[in-house]
Amino acid sequence: MIDTLIIGGGAAGLSCALVLGSGLKKPFAKDKTVAIITHQKTSHLQNALFNNVLGLEPGTLGADLLESGKEQLKDLYPEVLQIDKEKVTSVLNCDTYFEVTTNKNTYKSTRVVIAVGYTNLISIKGIEGFIAPHPKAAIEKDRIWLKNTDNIIENNLYVAGTLAGDRSQFAIASGSGAKVATDILTLWNNGKHTKIHDKV
Ligand SMILES: Cc1cc2nc3c(=O)[nH]c(=O)nc-3n(C[C@H](O)[C@H](O)[C@H](O)COP(=O)(O)OP(=O)(O)OC[C@H]3O[C@@H](n4cnc5c(N)ncnc54)[C@H](O)[C@@H]3O)c2cc1C
């Protein structure tokens, strides 16, 4: 049984995994397990070019960020299990946990973070009822979001990134993943507001 399973290896998913990974060393996170399904084939980062993101060298390629993001996660927070080359086909609510099925395996997780982007090609069984037209994207683009309040779709089911209803901007999507991670850290820490800051 995983504690938190993140679905999607794009801006929001990787950012969520990095912040959760950085929190795993805290005493309140003892015994917590985090995994991420790092599917990246359909990430909007694949053909993005970044000149307007604070901290990124102008001209940075999104495709390079996808690779370096996984490396950063593996090097700094190897406790976060990276599940590669799998695509999620269903997320089923089984009351006390979620059963997440991919094209290869089935996982059980107490919490799930869905960060699969806002393209209307989503074909994950179990979440159809939450899909609605994206509130902050051009209508002709046919984008979607999963209806949520403060990134929570239902108990222990979170959504992050563009699929949460935010506009498509790298900093917003990665910030959304980080925000969900701190919400989960706060939950682990018995409701005490929590963030993880490294210091010089
Ligand atoms: C051409 C282009 C240029 C851009 N330029 C800029 C720019 O200059 N500045 C800027 O700020 N932003 C830019 N962006 C926007 C930025 O790339 C997005 O805002 C950001 O990638 C959104 O992050 P996300 O995590 O919501 O989605 P994504 O990064 O798309 O990640 C979603 C992830 O979910 C995975 N996934 C999908 N389905 C499944 C499934 N069934 N199971 C498991 N995983 C799945 C995908 O493979 C992907 O890795 C650009 C986007 C594009 C397309």
Query: HEC profile for 47-105?
Result: HCEECCCCCCCCCEEHHHHHHHHHHHHHHHCCCCEEECCCCEEEEEECCCCEEEEECCC
Residue 151, pLDDT > 90, answer yes
Quick one: pLDDT at residue 83? 98
Instruction: Choose which residue among 18, 43, 44, 103 to substitute to test ligand 1 binding: the one with the highest number of ligand atoms within 8 A of its C-beta.
Output: 44
Residue 59, pLDDT > 90, answer yes
Quick one: pLDDT at residue 123? 87
Residues having CB within 6 Å of any atom of ligand 1:
7-13, 37, 39-45, 47-48, 50, 52-53, 62, 87-88, 115-117, 124, 161-163, 168-171, 173
pLDDT band with cut points at 50, 70 and 90 for residue 169: very high
Residue 12, pLDDT > 80, answer yes
d(CA 111, CA 170): 24
d(CA 187, CA 11): 23
- Show Cβ contacts of residue 36 under 8 Å, excluding neighbours closer than 6 positions: 5, 6, 7, 8, 9, 13, 14, 16, 17, 73, 80, 81, 82, 83
d(CA 191, CA 184): 9
Q: What are phi and psi of 99, to 5 degrees?
A: -105, 115
Count of Cβ atoms closer than 10 Å to residue 128 Cβ:
10
For residue range 15-39, what is the model confidence (pLDDT) as tens digits? 999 999 999 999 999 999 999 999 9
Quick one: pLDDT at residue 122? 76
The token pair at 28 is: 């309140």
d(CA 43, CA 121): 12
81: burial class by Cβ within 10 Å (0-12, 13-18, 19+)? middle
Quick one: pLDDT at residue 121? 76
Beta bridge partners of 146: 131
**Considering the chain, what is the average pLDDT of its residues?**
97
130: burial class by Cβ within 10 Å (0-12, 13-18, 19+)? middle
d(CA 197, CA 128): 37
* CA neighbours closer than 13 Å in the CB half-sphere of residue 187: 17
Count of Cβ atoms closer than 10 Å to residue 198 Cβ:
5
Residue 42, pLDDT > 80, answer yes
Residue 129, pLDDT > 80, answer yes
Query: 176 CA to middle of ligand 1, Å?
Result: 13
